[in-house]
């Protein structure tokens, strides 16, 4: 008797959300007709249109880098001044 291969663990779908379309298009929402028109134009599903729109919004709105630790401390500035060649360059403490 052949032994069955071990089954891969089932993946559970992440929780979804309910999307309520607007009656008409506005700056903060679109109608289903608009979504369907976009889907036909792009050759993708309605769901893919929504994911694409959210992806564009995320790239436009969210920073693409990790936040830094803020301004340099006096101790860090002093260490930089000691390493900087004296007399050749003038250090700026402000950019603007």
pLDDT digit string, tens, across residues 13-38? 888 889 999 999 999 999 999 999 99
Q: Exposed/middle/buried for 49, CB within 10 Å: 0-12, 13-18, 19+?
A: buried
Percent of the chain at pLDDT above 70?
A: 88
Determine the pLDDT at residue 57.
Answer: 95
Determine the pLDDT at residue 89.
Answer: 64
Instruction: Tell me the backbone φ, ψ of residue 74, rounded to 5 degrees.
Output: -60, -40
Task: Supply the DSSP string of 41-56, one letter for each residue.
Answer: HHTS-HHHHHHHHHHH
pLDDT over 60 at 52, yes or no = yes
Instruction: Tell me the backbone φ, ψ of residue 33, rounded to 5 degrees.
Output: -60, -40
Task: Tell me the whole-structure pTM to 2 decimals.
Answer: 0.56
Higher pLDDT, 3 or 36: 36
């Amino acid at each position: 008797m052949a032994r069955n291969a071990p089954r891969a663990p089932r993946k559970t779908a992440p929780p979804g959300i309910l999307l309520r379309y607007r009656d008409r298009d506005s700056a903060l929402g679109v109608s289903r007709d608009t979504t369907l028109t976009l889907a036909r134009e792009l050759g993708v599903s309605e769901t893919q249109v929504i994911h694409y729109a959210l992806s564009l919004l995320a790239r436009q709105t969210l920073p693409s880098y990790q936040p830094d630790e803020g301004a340099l401390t006096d101790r860090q500035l002093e260490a930089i001044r000691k390493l900087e060649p004296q007399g050749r360059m003038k250090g700026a403490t402000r950019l603007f």
